[in-house]
Amino acid sequence: MDNSEVWASTSKSWVNQVSREPVDLTHCDGEQVQFPGAIMPHGVLLILTLSDFRILGASANTGFWFGCDVEQLLHCHLDRIVAPDIQQTLETSLAHITEPELPRYLGSFQPAQGNHRFDVFAHRSCDVFIVEFEAIPAEVAENGSTGRMAEVSECISRLHAAETWEEGMAIGARELKRLTGFDSVVGARFLDDGSFHAIAETCESYFPSVLDKRFPRSDIPEPARRQMLLMPLQYALDLDYEPVPLVIADQAHEPLQIDLGFAVLRSISPMCRRFYRNMGVQSRLVISLVDQGELWGFFSCKNATPRQVVYSDRLVLKLFAEMSALLLVEKERAEQLQDALQIKRRISKIAAELSSADVFSDVLIQLPEQVLDNLDVTGVALCLDSKILCAGVTPEATVIQALISWLDEQGQSLFTTDRLPTLFGSTTQSLGQATGLLAGCLMESGQYILCFRPEHVHEVKWAGNPLKQIEIDVVSGEERFTPRGSFEVWKQEMRGTARAWQFYEIEALTDLQQAVIQLQYTENQRVLRSQLAQSNAELEAFAYIVSHDLQEPLRGISNFAQILVDSSSGKIGQQELSWLNTILNLSGRMSHQINALLQYSRASQQPLVVQLVDLNLLLHSVLEDLSATIKNTETQIQISQTLPTLACDRIRLASVFSNLITNAIKYNDQAERRIEIGCLENPTLTFFVRDNGIGIPEKFYDKIFTIFRRLHGRNDYGGGTGAGLAITRKHIERHGGCLWLESTPGQGTTFYFTLGSGLVFSADNDGDPHD
Amino acid sequence: MVKTIKKMRPLMIVEDSDEDFEVFCWALQKTGFTRPVIRAESAEVALTHLFPELLQADRIDPLPCLVLMDLNLPGVNGLQLLEQLSKMKQLLSIPVVIMSTSNNPLDIEACYCFGAAGYITKPFKLEDYIEKVRALTHYWFNTVMLPEGSD
């Protein structure tokens, strides 16, 4: 038996009481679909108080289903409708519902009056319980759930075997048609712009086919989408119904304020009904496919006549839908990941090549071609300052320059668009056909890697003209937006955009961008280092040349002054002779200083001659050379430890020891001069020369290492040019070591030095770790 | 440019600095040196003199018995000249002594490698300089024998 006609006739009497919403698309997105204040007629909805389960309101059709008018039920308990034991059961169940959530199934019951059985659901909505009684048609036999489950299990296995997600959708649609017996099942996938695409369809011939057609976003307005997420399965037995209004006793509640978002019997938006009726649909079942809280797609089942799907069947379908969503999404993702993985692997290889490259420019010259070969793009440009390296089809250099300035204004390190001409304000032609742009900024502004894609001209088959929604209202003669009456294919050529950039393509560019930036950074460091090295080398060469060339005229001055002294004896006075001698003294001093400068620059310029040196022998020979001074000053020399044998430049190290020991003797006014020489092993090998001399105030620690810097009068402490410590430090630095001191004025000074490890000594004595 | 006294093979000095040459002559005179001295201001002039065949010219001056050479010369420097001379068999009998301000060990080693017969650093003090010149002339002209055969 089909109740629909009966319901339709009984519902007519409420027509005037229901608020009739005008069918108008302009306010669809704002429509409060979960507050219709009415339900579908194939059941009864009761509103109960939270505290004592009294009936606060009910749908106006209780007389038809329960044989008891709404007015008689208000303020009563459930025992007005069902037997006391059932009332007890229902109330116990209700007491367990504490949160607003999807309706809970309480069981199937038969009221005290009437012949109908009902599936009963309950949920909380704000401050009331909503209890729904959905009529079970008499002819629906208790079918064993085992058989149903077995059927669904087989369906899922078939879906699982699908090669692609599109094939999976086709299988899903076919299986759903079989399970539900509906005339038409369409499987659709939502696209990024909110429109949706009918991927699969199983359809009786008398239904218009929508297969492979696109539907605009407005066909499922925002509230309907929210509802699809809220209720993954929505069912309407007969769309051609008169809504049954709610009647409420309590002044505090208005029917239109009762949230029926979760209600199974919620009356469907008039807009939506009109949409389906335009297609000739009377019964519909929509199963949402949800992926991580987002609408992924849906199956829409349509029937030309009312078609009963009872709760137990819907339950099984919901299970099928949830499994399908998991499988389909997983299949789609796997396909995408395969593409992504392939691109990722190829791009990683290029990035790795970049980062291991020695010659900056060589690898970058190849880069555009490599990117062109490995990404789905038609042109690549690498813009480094004034240089633009291109591969494939790209805009002209001047346009690229303009584009770069424009990108700099955008100020994003990564920029993507599929409609560059619109954003850039230019024609596709002047952009060299580039419509899609994926741009990554490199180390400095004005430096970019740009990937171009052409316009993707393609045809979309809309299900009817999506723009043409104006119809003349027959009654009022006014223009208004109404759902389309026709779903005849309406072809639209899509222009102005490129294929959208996929997440993995964007990731690939980011990887490349990082690799190039890293390379640029390394290159910058290298250039700076070599500039610094060159500048240092030039400075040292300068010092060498200057000191050498100055020596020559100075010698001339000195020589001729001497010749003058020799050849003028008796001819000039004492005063003149004294002046000539002053010239000789000054030029002698200058010669010493130039020599010191020469030594100093030689210390930095000439390569180290590294060999294994027994430092004990070396020190011994240094002391031998200084023996006259040591003897004259009666200096006590103590060598604390046996010194190691290590790789170093013998001559330089001898100079280091000689200089430090000479200083230790010179700057000492003690009656008994003592010098201790030794080395410490912890943590690194450190040599020291310790004296009991005059010491150095801490503020002079730095200055003593500056060339020609003296702390004392020119002739105090035996005089000297003031270059010794500068040269000594240079020798030690050339070994990769450091020289420093500790001193207490009046008590003595200790100079410490280390020699860098890792000096390479070669048999032919020309190894130099620094050159 | 070239002073010659017949019969005795001259001492040749390659020196670009007039002052240094003057001081050198003064020092020679102090030590009582009497041989003819010829001077070349550059490596090129020296080469022309020592080996006129290079320019298809005729020899006008006798070959020197000893060459004193500065290292720091304009154009082709002393070391390069020394290298060239070391490759000319005809000239191997003439000792070349380097006189330089440089005491750079690398210079000294390089000169001996190219066949220098000695290396003298020019001392700064004139009296030291005279002493060195005296020792030099004493060694080459009073101690050892130089090739004196006519060319």
Per-residue model confidence as pLDDT tens digits over A690-724:
999 999 988 888 888 888 777 777 677 777 778 88
pLDDT of the residue at A30: 63
Hey, of B20, B126, B128, which one would you mutate to test binding to chain A, going by the most A CBs within 10 A of its CB? B126
Homologous superfamily (CATH) of A357-457+495-501 is: PHY domain (3.30.450.270)
pLDDT tier for residue A767 given thresholds of 50, 70 and 90: very low
Cβ proximity of A505 and A342 under 8 Å: no
Tell me the per-residue pLDDT of A91-148, one tens digit each, with 9 for 90 and over: 999 988 888 888 889 888 888 887 888 999 999 988 899 999 999 887 765 555 677 7
pLDDT tier for residue A769 given thresholds of 50, 70 and 90: very low
Q: Quickly name the fold that domain B11-143 has.
A: Rossmann fold (3.40.50)
Of B19, B26, B104, the CB nearest to A556: B19
- The interface pTM score, or ipTM, of the predicted complex is 0.73
Q: Do A555 and B101 touch (CB under 8 A)?
A: yes
pLDDT of the residue at A28: 59
pLDDT of the residue at A572: 86
Q: Which residues have C-beta within 8 Å of that of residue A653, sequence separation ≥ 6?
A: A613, A615, A618, A731, A735, A755
Q: Do B101 and A588 touch (CB under 8 A)?
A: no
Backbone angles phi, psi at A484, to 5 degrees: -60, 145
Q: Do B23 and A551 touch (CB under 8 A)?
A: no
Tell me the per-residue pLDDT of A501-558, one tens digit each, with 9 for 90 and over: 988 899 999 988 988 888 888 888 888 999 988 887 787 777 777 777 788 888 889 9
A559 chain-B contacts, CB cut-off 8 A: 19, 23, 126, 129
User: How does DSSP assign A286-336, residue by residue?
Assistant: EEEEEETTEEEEEEEEEESS-----HHHHHHHHHHHHHHHHHHHHHHHHHH
What mean pLDDT is predicted for residues A63-75? Answer: 89
Compute the distance between CA of residue A28 and CA of residue A430 in angstroms, rounded to an integer: 41
Q: Do A552 and B72 touch (CB under 8 A)?
A: yes
- Shortest Cα distance from B135 to chain A (angstroms)? 19
pLDDT of the residue at A5: 31
B71 chain-A contacts, CB cut-off 8 A: none
Hey, of B124, B132, B133, which one would you mutate to test binding to chain A, going by the most A CBs within 10 A of its CB? B124
For chain B, how long is the longest CA-to-CA vector? 44
Same fold? A4-19+31-136, A357-457+495-501? yes
pLDDT of the residue at A422: 87
Q: Do A558 and B106 touch (CB under 8 A)?
A: no
Could you tell me the end-to-end alpha-carbon distance of chain B, in angstroms, rounded to an integer?
Answer: 21
Q: Does B20 touch chain A (CB under 8 A)?
A: yes
Higher model confidence: residue A419 or residue A682? A419
Cβ proximity of A209 and A203 under 8 Å: yes
**Which option is the CATH number for A4-19+31-136: 1.10.3720.10, 3.40.190.290, 2.130.10.30, 3.30.450.20?**
3.30.450.20
Estimate to the nearest angstrom the gap between the alpha carbon of A467 and the chain centroid: 38
- How far lies A543's CA from each of A469, B108, B124, in Å? 88, 20, 20
Closest CA to A597 of A518, A531, A542, A516: A542
Q: Does B143 touch chain A (CB under 8 A)?
A: no
pLDDT < 50: residue spans in chain B: 1-6, 150-151
What mean pLDDT is predicted for residues A638-652? Answer: 89
* Reported CATH class of domain A606-754: alpha beta
Could you tell me the end-to-end alpha-carbon distance of chain A, in angstroms, rounded to an integer?
Answer: 101
pLDDT of the residue at A366: 86
Is a pLDDT exceeding 50 seen at residue A8? no
Hey, of A546, A547, A550, A555, which one would you mutate to test binding to chain B, going by the most B CBs within 10 A of its CB? A555
Q: Do A552 and B17 touch (CB under 8 A)?
A: yes
- Shortest Cα distance from A511 to chain B (angstroms)? 52
User: How does DSSP assign B29-94, residue by residue?
Assistant: HHTT--S-EEEESSHHHHHHHH-GGGGT----SPPPSEEEE-S--SSS-HHHHHHHHHT-GGGTTS
Mean pLDDT of chain A: 83
What mean pLDDT is predicted for residues A728-739? Answer: 91
pLDDT of the residue at B136: 94
Higher model confidence: residue A22 or residue A106? A106
Provide the residue ranges of all domains of chain A, joining segments of one domain with +: 4-19+31-136, 357-457+495-501, 606-754
Is a pLDDT exceeding 80 seen at residue A488? no
pLDDT tier for residue A589 given thresholds of 50, 70 and 90: confident
- Shortest Cα distance from B121 to chain A (angstroms)? 12
Tell me the per-residue pLDDT of A432-454, one tens digit each, with 9 for 90 and over: 788 999 999 988 888 899 999 99
Tell me the per-residue pLDDT of A321-376, one tens digit each, with 9 for 90 and over: 888 999 999 999 888 888 888 888 888 888 888 877 766 677 788 889 989 998 88
Compute the distance between CA of residue A675 and CA of residue A250 in angstroms, rounded to an integer: 109
pLDDT of the residue at B146: 83
Q: Does B122 touch chain A (CB under 8 A)?
A: yes
Of A555, A558, A602, the CB nearest to B104: A602
pLDDT of the residue at A12: 33
Compute the distance between CA of residue A354 and CA of residue A360 in angstroms, rounded to an integer: 8
Tell me the per-residue pLDDT of A274-293, one tens digit each, with 9 for 90 and over: 878 877 889 999 999 999 88
B124 chain-A contacts, CB cut-off 8 A: 555, 558, 588, 591
Higher model confidence: residue A33 or residue A349? A349
Q: What is the DSSP letter of B143?
A: I
